[in-house]
Amino acid sequence: MHSTAPWQPSDIEDYKRFYSAPADLSSLVSSDISQDFVALWSDQAGCVSVPRHTTFVLVRGLFGGWMPGHFAAPCKRLRQAGFSLHIANSNAAGTISDNANLIGRDLERHIPSQHQIIFLCHSKGGLDTLAMLARFPHLMARTSAIVLCQTPRAGCPVLESVLLNAFRSSYSSRIQAIRERIASATISMLRARAACLDLTGENLARWIARLDAVPCPCPLISVASWSQQPSAILDSQHGRMQQIWPGRAHDGLFLLESMIWPTGKQVLLAEIDHSQPTVGGAQFDHGRFWLALARLAIKNTLSNHSTPVTNK
């Protein structure tokens, strides 16, 4: 059961106490700035000024637009803090390629031409955003920072099981196999099969190779997390993940190590499952979470460029 206490940042290394086959993260993490996040979460670093002429763009992940209250609390918290904010137009069941075009055209129409852009992306939304920036270099030139929260570099084992019949030997019962066939049919009925396949095995590997080949001139921050318990039924498949990869740390959909990007800086956090950053749950303050990430992006932008700021 989840603790009744509100979530607070804790040592990422705690996962070694709960998982019998912990990954070695030391070789993957190029620059760990988790303590900077903790300081901003706790307001120990003081107020970070909101940049003038900068729009923060939130980008939803797969099925995000279909989830009630998705990004509602973060939007409220960021606007209260004085941030100029826009939620990118993307298709909840769109492929990486389709959403790249949707997001790019949307930003061309709605972001003032004199504004810089800082992206705050969840899950597949990070892949959509990076693909968009590769196609819209003039938007890349206006990008001050990119935050990727739980954005994967390796396939989702649950989707590989449902759509590609992988990991059959890990089924605990015939009923489980039937449930996954129903899930596969449902995904097809929702016309989401192509988008889900983007997050599996070789398909995602091809996308990652293409995205890695595009230089990113601005600060990139990736957030990886693990959790023991789900906070949502549809977006946190802890039981299935434990069957597929027993003893491996994960957030309910992706292995911990697959959410760490080899370039840029990393924030590593404990006890956040895949749905919590966007819809909350289990006493997780997701509005405060994204406010800390937005301020972290500003801090890293200011350390790389001279950006005019104003207090609000």
Token digits of residue 281: 């749950």
- Looking at every residue in the chain, the average pLDDT score rounds to 89
What are the structural domains of the chain?
12-154+206-303 (3.40.50.1820)
Please report the pLDDT score of residue 14 as a whole number.
75
Query: Which DSSP string do the residues of 289-310 spell out, in sequence order?
Result: HHHHHHHHHHHHHHTTS---EE
Which range, of 42-46, 100-104, 176-180, 188-192, averages the lowest pLDDT?
Answer: 42-46
Over residues 207-229, mean pLDDT: 93
pLDDT tops 70 at residue 2: no
In this prediction, residue 17 has a pLDDT band, given cuts at 50, 70 and 90, of confident
pLDDT tops 50 at residue 306: no
Q: How far apart are CA 139 and CA 150, in angstroms?
A: 23
Tell me which residue of 191, 152, 158, 190 sits closest to 61, measured CA to CA: 152
Over residues 91-120, mean pLDDT: 97
